[in-house]
Structure 1
Amino acid sequence: MTTNSNSKKLVLVTGGSGFIAVHCILQLLEAGYQVRTTVRSLTREPDVRAMLKEGGFEAGDRLSFIVAELGSDANWIEAITGCTYVLHVASPTPLNQYEHEDEMIIPAREGVLRVLRIARKSGVKRVVLTSAVGAIVYGHKPQTIPFTEKDWTITTGDVPAYQKSKTLAERAAWDFIEREGDGLELSVVNPVGVLGPVLGPDYSHSIHFLKSMMEGKMPGCPKVNSSYVDVRDVADLHLRVMTEPAAKGQRFIATAGESIWMVDIAKILKQNMSALANKVNAKELPNTLVRIAALTNPVAKAIIPFLGKVMNTTNKKAVSMLGWSPRSTEEAITATAESLIRLGIVK
Structure 2
Amino acid sequence: MSHSNGTNNPNDSNGLHDRNDTKDPRGDLVLVTGGTGFIAQHCILALLASGYRVRTTLRSAKREAEVLTHLRVGGADPGDRLSFVVADLSADAGWTEAVAGCRYVLHGASPTPSGDHASEGDWIRPAVDGNLRVLRAARDAGVKRVVLTSAFGAICAGHGPMSRPFDETDWSDISGKSGEVWPYQKSKTLAERAAWDFIAKEGRGLELSAINPVAVLGPALGPDTSHSIGIIQRMMDGQPGCPKINTGVVDVRDVADLHLRAMTDPAANGERFLATAGDSLWMVDIATVLKRRLGAAANRVKTRVLPNWLVKLIGRGTPAGRSVASLLGRNLNASGNKARRVLGWRPRSNEEAIVATAESLVRLKMLRD
- TM-score range relative to shorter protein: over 0.9
Q: Deviations over 1:267-290 (max 9, x none)?
A: 000000011111111100111111
- Cα distance, 1:96 vs structure 2: 3.5
Q: C-alpha separation between the residues in 2 aligned to 1:190 and 1:223?
A: 23
- Cα distance, 1:213 vs structure 2: 1.0
Q: C-alpha separation between the residues in 2 aligned to 1:341 and 1:162?
A: 30
Q: Where does residue 189 of structure 2 map in the other structure?
A: 167
Q: Where does residue 65 of structure 1 map in the other structure?
A: 84
8 Å contact from structure 1 (residues 187, 251) kept in 2: yes
Which of 225, 242, 259 matches 1:203? Answer: 225
Answering whether residue 177 of structure 2 is matched by residue 194 of structure 1, we say: no
Q: Where does residue 330 of structure 1 map in the other structure?
A: 351
Q: C-alpha separation between the residues in 2 aligned to 1:56 and 1:99?
A: 37
Q: Where does residue 6 of structure 2 map in the other structure?
A: none
Which of 289, 297, 302 matches 2:323? Answer: 302
Quickly say closer, same or farther: Cα 1:4–1:34, change in 2 above 3 A.
farther
8 Å contact from structure 1 (residues 95, 104) kept in 2: no
- Cα distance, 1:143 vs structure 2: 1.1
- Cα distance, 1:297 vs structure 2: 5.6
- Cα distance, 1:99 vs structure 2: 4.3
Q: Where does residue 321 of structure 1 map in the other structure?
A: 342
Quickly say closer, same or farther: Cα 1:257–1:5, change in 2 above 3 A.
same
Q: Which amino acid aligns with 1:109?
A: V
> Identity of aligned pairs, percent?
60
- Cα distance, 1:298 vs structure 2: 5.1
| Alignment map for 1:1-347 (pairs within 5 Å) | 5-93=24-112, 95-157=114-176, 158-216=180-238, 218-296=239-317, 299-346=320-367, 347=369
Name the SS for the 2:274 alignment partner: strand
Quickly say closer, same or farther: Cα 1:4–1:276, change in 2 above 3 A.
farther
Q: Deviations over 1:30-49 (max 9, x none)?
A: 10001000011111111111
Quickly say closer, same or farther: Cα 1:76–1:324, change in 2 above 3 A.
same
Q: C-alpha separation between the residues in 1 aligned to 2:157 and 2:168?
A: 13
Q: C-alpha separation between the residues in 2 aligned to 1:179 and 1:85?
A: 20
Q: Deviations over 1:259-313 (max 9, x none)?
A: 0000111100000001111111110011111122222565433211110000010
8 Å contact from structure 1 (residues 222, 290) kept in 2: yes
Quickly say closer, same or farther: Cα 1:4–1:62, change in 2 above 3 A.
farther
8 Å contact from structure 2 (residues 116, 320) kept in 1: no
TM-score where L is the length of structure 1:
0.97
Q: C-alpha separation between the residues in 1 aligned to 2:310 and 2:96?
A: 52
8 Å contact from structure 1 (residues 4, 32) kept in 2: no
Q: Deviations over 1:313-342 (max 9, x none)?
A: 000000010000000011000000000010
Q: C-alpha separation between the residues in 2 aligned to 1:6 and 1:16?
A: 22
8 Å contact from structure 1 (residues 38, 66) kept in 2: yes
Q: Where does residue 13 of structure 2 map in the other structure?
A: none
Q: C-alpha separation between the residues in 1 aligned to 2:90 and 2:118?
A: 18
8 Å contact from structure 1 (residues 12, 85) kept in 2: yes
- Cα distance, 1:4 vs structure 2: 9.1
8 Å contact from structure 1 (residues 293, 301) kept in 2: no
Q: Gapped runs of 5+ residues in structure 1?
A: none
Q: C-alpha separation between the residues in 2 aligned to 1:120 and 1:62?
A: 24
4+ runs deviating over 6 angstroms: none
- Cα distance, 1:241 vs structure 2: 0.2
Q: C-alpha separation between the residues in 1 aligned to 2:275 and 2:158?
A: 20
Name the SS for the 2:294 alignment partner: helix
TM-score where L is the length of structure 2:
0.91
Q: Gapped runs of 5+ residues in structure 2?
A: 1-21
8 Å contact from structure 2 (residues 34, 110) kept in 1: yes
Name the SS for the 2:62 alignment partner: helix
